[in-house]
Amino acid sequence: MLTFAGEIRDKTRSVAIETPVQVTYADIPFGVMMLTPNDLEDFGYGFSLTEGIITSPADIKAVGLETLEDGLRLRIDLVGARLHTHLARKRALSGRTSCGLCGIEDLDALPRALARQGPAPTLSLDAIERAVGELDAQQPLGARTRAVHGAAWCGRDGAIKLVREDVGRHNALDKLIGALLRDGQSPDDGFVLITSRASFEMVEKVAIFGARTLVAISAPTSLALQRARALDITLVGIARRDGVTLFHGADRITSDKVLA
């Protein structure tokens, strides 16, 4: 380590693991994703949902992991009817760490969540502040490596219930969604907090899961904001300890404080 004062120090650091993971359904390859190899069963469930391959955790019979010479294989076994539906759908996926839409060949194939009916729930500014304040302490891998993203499920009161981490922001969110699916968590019971920007794919994944509020540490993209409006998802960005920016659904954020 070299300090700005010119001092050289010997120091050992943890480095985030990034490894290729081949995703297969039965024995049929679907794609290769670059992942941090933890919580991969959660990833299998979440990825399968947000890719539109399953509609509920009951569509998956089992998830297995195999070690290959150059990486890992995540084998996801689907129930008969769901496997038949999947085989009729073609997508070759090459998933780089930062890419959420690799393998899409046609604009019509872009993922499109369906808007949920009814008004989105209100959320207090205090709850958002609490969640943002707790997030760093809930990311052990991030604290050790400074090289991974986190996705957190927060209760309506802002208490962080669950966190998943990965070198890829999309992967971290898929892991979180998969864990929530496996646990039978209702999307109405909380909100999602992510350490990355709120991109189009992140909004879509949250909407596919069914949650109505997304809070991001960074700002949203134009398409993310467009989709948040279309799906009527409360979108909060640039969420820091000293404040947030409300991009959509500002009327649902309650506070006794004065909002700029």
Residue 32: which of 73, 68, 69 has the closest Cα? 73
Largest CA distance in the chain: 64
Determine the pLDDT at residue 108: 55
Determine the pLDDT at residue 107: 45
One of 16, 17, 99, 102 is an active-site residue; which one? Answer: 99
pLDDT-above-70 percentage for the chain: 90
Determine the pLDDT at residue 260: 47
Can you tell me the distance from the alpha carbon of 201 to that of 50, in angstroms, rounded to the nearest whole number? 9
Can you tell me the distance from the alpha carbon of 216 to that of 155, in angstroms, rounded to the nearest whole number? 16
Determine the pLDDT at residue 41: 98
SS3 content of the chain, % helix, strand, coil (to 5): 35, 30, 35
Domain boundaries, the chain: 19-109, 123-254
**Which pLDDT tens digit goes with each residue over 152-208?**
999 999 999 999 999 999 999 999 999 999 999 999 999 999 999 999 999 999 999
User: Any catalytic annotation for residue 99?
Assistant: yes
**Which pLDDT tens digit goes with each residue over 113-150?**
888 998 899 999 999 999 999 999 999 999 999 999 99
**123-254 maps to CATH 3.40.50.2300:** no
* pLDDT for residue 90 is more than 70: no
Mean pLDDT of 14-34: 93
- Best CATH choice for the domain 19-109 from the list 3.40.50.300, 3.10.20.10, 3.10.450.30, 3.40.50.620: 3.10.20.10
